Structure 1
Amino acid sequence: MKRKIIVLFIVCCIFAMLTGCCVTQSQDDLLVSQTESTNLSVSGEDDDQIKLCVYVCGAVKSPGVYTLKKGARIYEAVELAGGLTGKAQQDGINLAEEVTDGQMVVVPVKEKTEKSEAVSENTADGKVNINSATKEELMTLSGIGEAKAQAIITYREENGLFSAVEDLVNVSGIADGTLNKIKDSIKVN
């Protein structure tokens, strides 16, 4: 009988050990499963915190590389770059577009065609309007180089518009001889 009790005791111990190992194993599996689930949740939260680097250049006040959150728009990148300059062509870029990592955002400058349109207005009748002409337009006149053209513009900015063609002699460096050469090529409006 003593032998039966010992055998029964050994069988119970073996059963208890096997049951304990299975329970411990399932707890380990559960712990690993919970850890993986937590890691997936954390990485899902990281998607909202992903940082994107964007290079903003062109007609902005402070061109450079800026860091934005995922889902940011181009207008946010432009704001970080100090905003648009007066020379920016606003309709040349989609400010509502979502930025991507490594993107180069180029804000275009207003095209030179606006200047050429102004040139044609100033010289439509073949005469240069000395009240609105650019330095380049003034330099097309006989005897007017870069220095004299700049002197005309400076005089105009400091003293106001010319009221008559003859007022041009008030500009430093422009004498009666120069005025007589260009008199038929200029106008004031």
Structure 2
Amino acid sequence: MRISEERERVRDRLAAMSGDFSSARAGFGREDVAEPTVPDWLLESDDDDDEELEPLTPRFQAVPDRWRDMRWSPRRRGALALVIVALVATGIGVFTVWWGSPTMQAVPPLPAAVGVPITASGQPSTSEPPSPPIESSRAAAPVGLVVSVVGLVRNPGLVTLPDGSRVADALTAAGGVNAGADTLSLNLAQKLSDGDQVVVGVVGDSAPKTSSTAAGTGGAPAAPAGGGLINLNTATEAELDTLPGVGPVTASAIAAWRTSNGKFTDVEQLGEVDGIGPARLDKLRPLVSV
């Protein structure tokens, strides 16, 4: 709708209204009646009614007819409000973009699997894991044998040997045998146990050359053949030889100590005899008397 048509309609309505009120104003003087106030823009002549209007652009044609003649002229407050709204919208957009952006975070390294080898393809190997190493302290724990070597040897007494040692090793640890010692009756290849005794005698001696007196068997020592205690002061060498762990050489050593020092006054004095150590003394204590 053109502007000229709108103006014509307004003028017609005003003319009709002024005609309706003409009778009411007839009795009054013309000076008492004020002329109707008409807006200036209605009184303006429409000089461009006959002029050919420029063709409307497609964008302008898309605007509704009632909005085409409107003018937008914001004041200072309106412009300031629009600027504030634009700034707030910009801030919200920036904050949204910043909040949604990914952040870099350090990831701790994964612990390596213990005992699970990784193949070239990156998959764990299905083979059995290697066995844990044996602690050196356990492997290096000293374990040995304590053996008594008596008789015709250079250094009779207790010797300490490693596990698996034999009679020949015990004789070597005792300094070797003396002249006239009978080594043919000894089984030099026999393995020794902890607490064994090796007796080196003379040729023709029929006494056993080795005897097992290992401690910790849990049983009580064997009793003498007679069933009673053997008196260390009155027993002969043959009677002393019947004691467990006491051979002919040890029996002779007991008799020699008795001759040199007199009678035994205490069983504990057996510990002073060559060839009788603490372990052997513990076994002989319940079998002898003074």
TM-score (normalised: structure 2): 0.26
TM-score (normalised: structure 1): 0.37
Flag the structure with higher helix content: 1
Bigger radius of gyration among the two? 2
